[in-house]
Amino acid sequence: MAVRAGLASLAALFLAGTAAVPAFAQESGDDEPVYIEADTMSEDRGSGAYIARGNVEARQGDRTVTADELEYRPETGRVIARGNVTIYSADAPPQYADEVELDDQMGSGIATGFSTLMENNGRAAAAHAVRRSNGTLELRDAYYTACQLCSETGHEPTWRLRAQRVVQDTDDQMIYYENVRFEALGVPVFYAPAFAHPDPSSARRSGFLFPTVSVSSRLGIGYQQPYYWAISPYQDFTFSPRVMTNVRPLLIGEYRKRFYSGRLGFEGSITYEREIDGDGNRFGEDALRYHLFGGGEFEISDQWDWGFGVQVASDDLHIRRYDLNELYQDYPGLVETNAGRLTSQLFLQGQGQNYYAEVAGAAFQSLIVGENDDLLPVAAPMADYRTTTQLGENGGFLRTRLNTISLTRDAGIDYRRASAQADWSARWIAPQGLVLEPFAFARADYYALEDIPGATPADPLTSDSFGRFLGMAGAELSWPLYRPGQSVDSIIEPVIQVVAASDDDHAGRIPNEDSQNVDLTESVIFASNRSPGYDLWEEGVRVTFGGRYNATFSNGYEFSAFVGQSRRLDGDPVFDAGSGLRGDDSDIVADFGVDLNSFIVNANSRIDPESGSINRLNLSTYGTIGPVTTILSYSRFDDSQVLPGPREEAYLALSTRLTDNWSFGYSVTRDLEAGVSRLQTAGFTYRDYCTELGILYARENYSYGILGPSESIQIRLTLFTLGSVGSED
């Protein structure tokens, strides 16, 4: 039968401790009543003990203890729960034990056969668990794993961390281990007589982090051991010396600090070393080689903030030489950074409901071998201010913009520009579904140029200053037509656009600083202003026409297509031959996409209107057949385009699942123009419920100055809930 009693003195001793890990001994202070249900409730008159037996359940608030038997001994003040003891708490995972015994002061307790499923899905267990009166917790014959146990799977867990003795010291918030061994599939593979780490429940603590290991033909075998220093709750420093067999050690550090109004961080590396080639051969003079990246961003008000970014390196190859390419990310700034140039900048920006403003200054350092830094500008100041105003419900939007920039070089043209512009656009929909989008644009520019080279090297440098006024008006008309069907829904949308723009009388006097590498795409061909910057102005009258089609099938398949072309009726061309806009008739832009769920194809192309030849093609496919997944892409550009990379390139990646846990992957990037494979990778991955092991071979066939092709092997082992060891991602 079920017995319900308010015996707080009996169960409170046990229940009060169910909020901690282990929860069998910690004060609660709860004044809530305790309810006990059991098949039988009795008193042993000989010993004076109170005993509840059979499906015992004791509840206090949101905490519950179940057991086969619960006994309270008033004379000794001991509470004992026996048989299938389970402790439930709303704010902690369930805990299990064969038997739990506590004193009446909650100062100490003993559990046998203790185990718990932790919040991070880890599993911890111990033959004996003891909590002493000073708060110290001690486990005997303990283990920890994130894997499913043998009782769940029928075999040994992939990994398990065992220790003869574990002590959780609450005073110094550390956990100490004695006679630690790491087991893989039940076989001991690592032993340490002692080990310690900070208590996970404590605040950040200083200590060693997991090391990383690397193997490459250039650097040799490398070992990097990070040490984390928690300077304060709001700042830290990680020191990561790296030793390598082919070169001298590299010291790496990262500092981070948070403020009430923002954050800053710096990371860098330094060594004293000679030059090395792709095979790790050292030559030349010893020199100090380093890099420093950093930045900060701080809030001034709800709408304004300021920040800075720093990126410097001792030479063009330091970043690539030591494989530090991943450090480019996560730094604030308004000026974009790429792998070819480092950027140091200072900025201020603000944004409100109807405006955006920014002021910045930037300096650049080239990482392109052979590029002269004297030709790179110091861009300061750069300022931009934009506003947007809605002109009634159907009056469209009026946008204004003020923009200025100054570029100063040690060698080359010094460039200064100030611009003021206004543009208006609206979108009107007729009852028949016709969409009319009129627009108008006006801009005034002022240029001041210095150190302009003459016609011959002997001619003196000159300067020039002038202003220009530009205007444009046009409209775009489209008619989206929707046709539903039983098996397919279709949308076809013809589009035509007419634009008339004023002439630019100063086109030959302006160096092109901000409108390079124009490429005609679907988004560009219907843009009212197809120049990405200020320096180039597309004058005259042009007509652009095209259409879009989209089909959605009942089985989830999709097909989309776009075709468009532009014709210049008046005006001189300003874009280069590789843009697709050089002639009176632009290249034909033709795109399509097919999505068959397990097979996807996307293609973007530019076609010569006279010869029909393809001037640019980007093709990508993704497909899954059974356990095999394949990605294939192909790119080709015509000879008129100025490119930093190859003109014809293919990429293939495939992966396949070999078993439930093992998979294989391969990828290759092929320079079809040069007939060489630039990058190849091949690797195996093992993954289960608690472990991931990756083994990757990579061969890089690029040449950056003296750094030629290189090979590397990366091995990375991740033990879920503990961390990773091996090569960096």
Q: What is the pLDDT of residues 527-544, one digit of tens each?
A: 999 999 999 999 999 999
- pLDDT at residue number 280: 80
Q: What single-letter amino acid sits at 376?
A: L
User: Would the pLDDT of 351 be above 90?
Assistant: yes
Residue range 286-316, pLDDT digits in tens: 999 999 999 999 999 999 999 999 999 999 9
Whether 666 contacts 653, CB under 8 Å: yes
Please check whether residue 428 is in contact with residue 436, taking contact to mean a CB–CB distance below 8 angstroms: yes
Q: For the chain, which domains are there? A: 8-202 (2.60.450.10), 203-369 (no CATH)
Assess whether pLDDT exceeds 70 at residue 119.
no
Beta-carbon contacts of 163 under 8 Å, excluding residues fewer than 6 positions away, are 139, 142, 143, 177, 178, 179, 180, 181, 195
pLDDT tier at 11, thresholds 50, 70, 90: very low
CB contact at 8 A, 158 and 169: no
Structure tokens of 433? 């579904």
Backbone phi and psi for residue 642, each to the nearest 5 degrees, phi listed first: -90, 115
- Residues 6 or more apart in contact with residue 538 via CB below 8 angstroms: 501, 529, 530, 531, 571, 574, 575, 581
pLDDT at 590: 97
What is the DSSP code string of 300-312?
SSSSEEEEEEEEE
Reported as a pLDDT band with limits 50, 70 and 90, residue 244 is: very high
- pLDDT tens digit sequence for 266-283: 999 999 999 988 778 888
This prediction's pTM: 0.82
The pLDDT value recorded for residue 235 is 96
With a CB cutoff of 8 Å and minimum separation 6, the contacts of 501 are: 470, 471, 472, 537, 538, 539, 540, 541, 571
**CB-based burial of residue 611 (10 Å sphere; 0-12 exposed, 13-18 middle, 19+ buried)?**
exposed
* Token pair 């290759």 in the structure block, residue: 668
Which two tokens mark 48?
């004076």
pLDDT number for residue 333: 83
User: Which whole number is the average pLDDT over 560-585?
Assistant: 91
Q: What is the mean pLDDT of the chain?
A: 87
Please list, in sequence order, all residues whose beta carbon lies within 8 angstroms of the beta carbon of residue 559, skipping any fewer than 6 positions away.
549, 550, 551, 553, 592, 593, 594, 595
Q: Is 160's pLDDT higher than 70?
A: yes
pLDDT at 151 over 70: no
Percentage above 70 pLDDT, the chain = 90
Confidence of residue 29 (pLDDT cuts 50, 70, 90): very low
The H-or-E segment that residue 619 falls in is strand 614-625
Model pLDDT for residues 64-91, shown as the tens digit of each residue = 889 999 888 887 778 888 999 988 877 7
